[in-house]
Amino acid sequence: MSDISRVMTPMQRQYNEIKSQNKGSLLFFRLGDFYELFYEDAELVSKELNLTLTSRHKKSEYEMPMCGIPYHSASKYLARLTKKGYRIAICEQISDPKLPGIVKREVVKIITPGTTFQDEALEARENNYLLSISERQNMFGVCYTDLSTGEIYATCINDYNSLKNEVFRIKPSEVILPKTLFSGAELKQFLTEELNISVNIHNGADHYQTIKTHFKVKNLEGYGIEEDTIIIEAVGNLISYIKQTQKNEVSHINILHRYTDSEFMVLDKQAIRNLELLFTLYDGERKGSLLWVLDQTKTAVGGRLLRKILLEPLQDKNKIQDRLNAVEEIIETPSIIEKLDILKNTYDIERIMAKLNCNYSSARDLVALKQTLSVLPGIATVVKSCKTTYIQKILEVFENPVLKNIYDKLDTALKEDPPLTIREGKIIKDGYNKELDELRKLMNGGKEWLARYQEEEKKRTGINTLKIGFNKVFGYYIEITKSQVANAPDDYIRKQTLTNGERFISPILKEYEQKILTAEEKIVELEYNLYQDLVTDINSYTVLLQQVSKSIAVLDLITSFAVIALNNNYVKPEIVDDNSLVIRDGRHPVVERIISSDEQFVPNDIALDTNKVSEILLTGPNMAGKSTYLRQTALIVLLAHIGCYVPARSARVPITDRIFTRVGASDNLTKGQSTFMVEMQETTNILNNATDRSLLILDEIGRGTSTYDGLSLAWSIFEYIHDKIQAKMLFATHYHEMIDLANNLKRSENYSMAVNESADGVIFLRKVKQGGADDSYGIEVAKLAGLPDKVIERASEVLEELEKNSRKKEGMREANQLSFISPTVVEKIVYKEANNDAIIKDLEGLHIDKITPMEALIKLHDWKKRYQKKGFT
Binding-site ranges for ligand ADP (CB under 6 A): 591, 595, 599, 601-602, 620, 622-628, 766
Write down the least CB distance from residue 678 to Mg ion, Å: 18
- Given the complex with Mg ion, which of 128 and 668 has the nearer CB atom? 668
- Given the complex with Mg ion, which of 114 and 625 has the nearer CB atom? 625
- Residue 628 interacts, among Mg ion, ligand ADP, none and using kind-specific CB cut-offs from 5 to 8 Å, with ligand ADP
Instruction: State the Cα–Cα distance between residues 374 and 753, nearest whole angstrom.
Output: 56
- Non-local CB neighbours of 696 within 8 Å, separated by 6+ positions: 659, 660, 661, 662, 686, 690, 721, 727, 728, 729, 730, 731
| DSSP of 287-309 | TTSHHHHH---SSHHHHHHHHHH
CA distances from 519 to 123, 167, 435, 524, 777 (A): 42, 56, 11, 9, 88
- Given the complex with ligand ADP, which of 578 and 599 has the nearer CB atom? 599
Q: Which amino acid is at 630?
A: L
For residue 142, the tally of other CB atoms under 10 A from its CB is 25
Please classify residue 188 by burial: count the beta carbons closer than 10 Å to its beta carbon, then call 0-12 exposed, 13-18 middle and 19+ buried.
middle
- Residue 766 interacts, among ligand ADP, Mg ion, none and using kind-specific CB cut-offs from 5 to 8 Å, with ligand ADP
Q: Which amino acid is at 789?
A: D
CA distances from 204 to 208, 218, 260, 597, 839 (A): 11, 20, 25, 59, 69
Write down the least CB distance from residue 28 to ligand ADP, Å: 50
- Given the complex with ligand ADP, which of 600 and 873 has the nearer CB atom? 600
Write down the least CB distance from residue 214 to ligand ADP, Å: 51
Q: Are 270 and 662 in contact (CB under 8 A)?
A: yes
Q: Give the chain's largest Cα–Cα span.
A: 130
- Residue 595 interacts, among ligand ADP, Mg ion, none and using kind-specific CB cut-offs from 5 to 8 Å, with ligand ADP
Backbone angles phi, psi at 627, to 5 degrees: -60, -40
- Residue 647 interacts, among ligand ADP, Mg ion, none and using kind-specific CB cut-offs from 5 to 8 Å, with none
Site for Mg ion in 503-522 (CB under 5 A): none
How many helical (H) and strand (E) elements, i.e. helices and strands, does the chain have? Answer: 31, 27
- Residue 208 interacts, among ligand ADP, Mg ion, none and using kind-specific CB cut-offs from 5 to 8 Å, with none
Write down the least CB distance from residue 776 to Mg ion, Å: 12
- Residue 798 interacts, among Mg ion, ligand ADP, none and using kind-specific CB cut-offs from 5 to 8 Å, with none
- Residue 602 interacts, among ligand ADP, Mg ion, none and using kind-specific CB cut-offs from 5 to 8 Å, with ligand ADP
For residue 764, the tally of other CB atoms under 10 A from its CB is 19
Write down the least CB distance from residue 637 to ligand ADP, Å: 17
The length of the chain in residues reads: 873
Write down the least CB distance from residue 634 to ligand ADP, Å: 13
Under DSSP, the state recorded for 128 is: -
CB nearest ligand ADP: which residue? Answer: 625
Q: Are 323 and 390 in contact (CB under 8 A)?
A: yes
- Given the complex with Mg ion, which of 546 and 627 has the nearer CB atom? 627
Residue 675: half-sphere exposure toward Cβ, Cα within 13 Å: 4
- Given the complex with ligand ADP, which of 591 and 834 has the nearer CB atom? 591
- Residue 625 interacts, among Mg ion, ligand ADP, none and using kind-specific CB cut-offs from 5 to 8 Å, with ligand ADP
- Residue 372 interacts, among Mg ion, ligand ADP, none and using kind-specific CB cut-offs from 5 to 8 Å, with none
- Residue 823 interacts, among ligand ADP, Mg ion, none and using kind-specific CB cut-offs from 5 to 8 Å, with none
Q: Are 482 and 468 in contact (CB under 8 A)?
A: no
- Residue 608 interacts, among ligand ADP, Mg ion, none and using kind-specific CB cut-offs from 5 to 8 Å, with none
Q: Residue 539's Cα: distance from chain center in Å?
A: 27
Q: Which stretch binds Mg ion (CB under 5 A): 170-178, 309-317, 626-634, 863-871?
A: 626-634
- Given the complex with Mg ion, which of 618 and 742 has the nearer CB atom? 618
CB nearest Mg ion: which residue? Answer: 627
Site for Mg ion in 522-541 (CB under 5 A): none
Instruction: State the Cα–Cα distance between residues 542 and 159, nearest whole angstrom.
Output: 37
Write down the least CB distance from residue 603 to ligand ADP, Å: 7
Write down the least CB distance from residue 666 to Mg ion, Å: 10
Under DSSP, the state recorded for 418 is: -
Write down the least CB distance from residue 659 to ligand ADP, Å: 17
- Residue 274 interacts, among Mg ion, ligand ADP, none and using kind-specific CB cut-offs from 5 to 8 Å, with none
Q: Are 373 and 403 in contact (CB under 8 A)?
A: yes
- Given the complex with ligand ADP, which of 156 and 768 has the nearer CB atom? 768
- Given the complex with ligand ADP, which of 537 and 599 has the nearer CB atom? 599
- Residue 370 interacts, among ligand ADP, Mg ion, none and using kind-specific CB cut-offs from 5 to 8 Å, with none
Instruction: State the Cα–Cα distance between residues 237 and 232, nearest whole angstrom.
Output: 8
Rg (CA), the chain: 36
- Given the complex with Mg ion, which of 627 and 668 has the nearer CB atom? 627
C-alpha dihedral sign at 339, 342, 348, 350: negative
Write down the least CB distance from residue 873 to ligand ADP, Å: 24
- The partner residues of 239 in beta bridges, in order of sequence, read none
Q: Are 738 and 716 in contact (CB under 8 A)?
A: no
Q: Are 32 and 103 in contact (CB under 8 A)?
A: no
- Residue 468 interacts, among Mg ion, ligand ADP, none and using kind-specific CB cut-offs from 5 to 8 Å, with none
- Given the complex with Mg ion, which of 627 and 661 has the nearer CB atom? 627
Write down the least CB distance from residue 598 to ligand ADP, Å: 11
Write down the least CB distance from residue 615 to ligand ADP, Å: 18
- Given the complex with Mg ion, which of 274 and 296 has the nearer CB atom? 274
- Residue 418 interacts, among Mg ion, ligand ADP, none and using kind-specific CB cut-offs from 5 to 8 Å, with none
- Given the complex with ligand ADP, which of 503 and 734 has the nearer CB atom? 734
Under DSSP, the state recorded for 852 is: -
Write down the least CB distance from residue 176 to Mg ion, Å: 41
CA distances from 480 to 451, 455, 499, 512, 513 (A): 16, 14, 11, 20, 19
- Given the complex with ligand ADP, which of 187 and 773 has the nearer CB atom? 773
- Given the complex with Mg ion, which of 111 and 624 has the nearer CB atom? 624
> Using the rule CB under 5 A, is 661 a contact of Mg ion?
no
Coil vs helix vs strand at 836: coil
Q: Are 57 and 64 in contact (CB under 8 A)?
A: yes
Site for Mg ion in 154-183 (CB under 5 A): none
Write down the least CB distance from residue 625 to Mg ion, Å: 8
- Residue 601 interacts, among ligand ADP, Mg ion, none and using kind-specific CB cut-offs from 5 to 8 Å, with ligand ADP
Q: Provide the edge-to-edge strand list for the sheet that holds 64-70.
A: 54-56, 64-70, 34-38, 26-31, 88-93, 105-111
Q: Are 121 and 138 in contact (CB under 8 A)?
A: no
Q: Are 230 and 134 in contact (CB under 8 A)?
A: yes
- Given the complex with Mg ion, which of 619 and 627 has the nearer CB atom? 627
Write down the least CB distance from residue 759 to ligand ADP, Å: 22
Q: How many residues bind Mg ion (CB under 5 A)?
A: 1
Write down the least CB distance from residue 648 to ligand ADP, Å: 12
- Non-local CB neighbours of 778 within 8 Å, separated by 6+ positions: 621, 622
Q: Which of 627, 656, 668, 733 binds Mg ion (CB under 5 A)?
A: 627
Q: Give contact residues for Mg ion (rule: CB under 5 A).
A: 627
